[in-house]
Amino acid sequence: MKSQHFLSHRPLALAASLFLLLRGSVTAQTPPAAPSPETQKRPAGTAIPAPAPPAISYSAVHVDGPYIAMTFDDGPSEKLTLQLLDILAADHIHATFFVIGQNAERAPEILQRAVREGHEIGNHSWSHPAFAKMSDAAVRREIQKTDDAIRAAIGHSPVLLRPPYGSITIRQKQWIHSEFGYRIILWDVDPLDWKRPGPTIVMNRIVRQTRPGSIILSHDIHPGTIKAMPETFDQLQARGFKFVTVSELIAMGKPMPPQEPRAESPSPVSSPAASPAMSVPPAASPAPSLTSP
């Protein structure tokens, strides 16, 4: 009886064993689940890069469209700045004026008119010294006195600073931005109008150097500069450029596209023509000489 009972259950045991064997075989052949996109993005332990901090200094802005900023330094002039404002109004152009504090204090009504007509006011120091040669305390006084004069004229402090002659150190840029909140504005187009070369030369230099995103330096205290502006504006507009204030230009800024890696030359004696062409932007104009007004 015992052997019959054993034999009667043997087929069931064999069937169960075969089922388990087949199940294990299938399980072993099932590939592991693919990692999710999140786990594929970066290796474990890799830090996520922080976004780049906003720039505090500009000589030009990378923009998608044909936008440029005209800037005028050293005013306001009670005669010439008013003439320039008339020209700007006739052409529906907005500009940025970097004013000397002493001049702003003497003619606040000119700043008020400029703001009413859509222009921007920036700080250009109280007495036009070279910041890079000065102590922090002296620079601070120059900036603060001008800030006070501008605020008294138009009701608020400016957000832009242009150091006279472009003379400023990296450390000064950092503490001025930290303390006053100013963006430091330089330029990439310089007609050297302070040398008074004549209206035609001023116009030609500006038109030749200007590109999208340019910040154009000029001065509203020289008669030749004012005479150059109508034709300058006409020429730039004919080339499709559109005028905005410096703050508007900065707001339009786009990240610079990544640079293509330069291919290695196949041999030390290969011709430069064999290397891939690279686009080289025009060099920025130097800051005015310390002999400029």
What pLDDT does residue 290 have?
35
215 Cβ contact partners less than 8 Å away, ≥ 6 residues apart: 58, 59, 60, 61, 68, 69, 71, 185, 186, 187, 188, 189, 246, 249
What pLDDT does residue 255 have?
85
The answer to whether 219 is a known catalytic residue is: yes
**Euclidean distance between the first and final Cα of the chain, in Å?**
124
- CATH architecture observed for domain 57-251: Alpha-Beta Barrel (3.20)
What pLDDT does residue 242 have?
99
Tens of pLDDT along the chain (293 residues)? 444 444 444 444 444 444 444 444 444 443 444 444 444 454 555 455 555 567 999 999 999 999 999 999 999 999 999 999 999 999 999 999 999 999 999 999 999 999 999 999 999 999 999 999 999 999 999 999 999 999 999 999 999 999 999 999 999 999 999 999 999 999 999 999 999 999 999 999 999 999 999 999 999 999 999 999 999 999 999 999 999 999 999 999 998 776 555 444 333 333 333 323 323 333 333 333 333 44
Closest CA to 175 of 189, 158, 163, 190: 163
Instruction: Report how far apart, in Å, the C-alpha atoms of 73 and of each of 214, 225, 289 are.
Output: 16, 11, 14
What pLDDT does residue 54 have?
72
Point out the catalytic residue in the list 124, 128, 219, 222: 219
For the chain, what percent of residues have pLDDT higher than 70? 69
E-strand ranges in the chain read 57-58, 67-73, 96-99, 120-123, 160-161, 183-185, 215-219, 242-243
What pLDDT does residue 285 have?
38
Point out the catalytic residue in the list 73, 147, 188, 220: 73
The answer to whether 91 is a known catalytic residue is: no
Q: What is the pTM of this model?
A: 0.73
Q: How many angstroms separate the CA atoms of 204 and 200, rounded?
A: 6
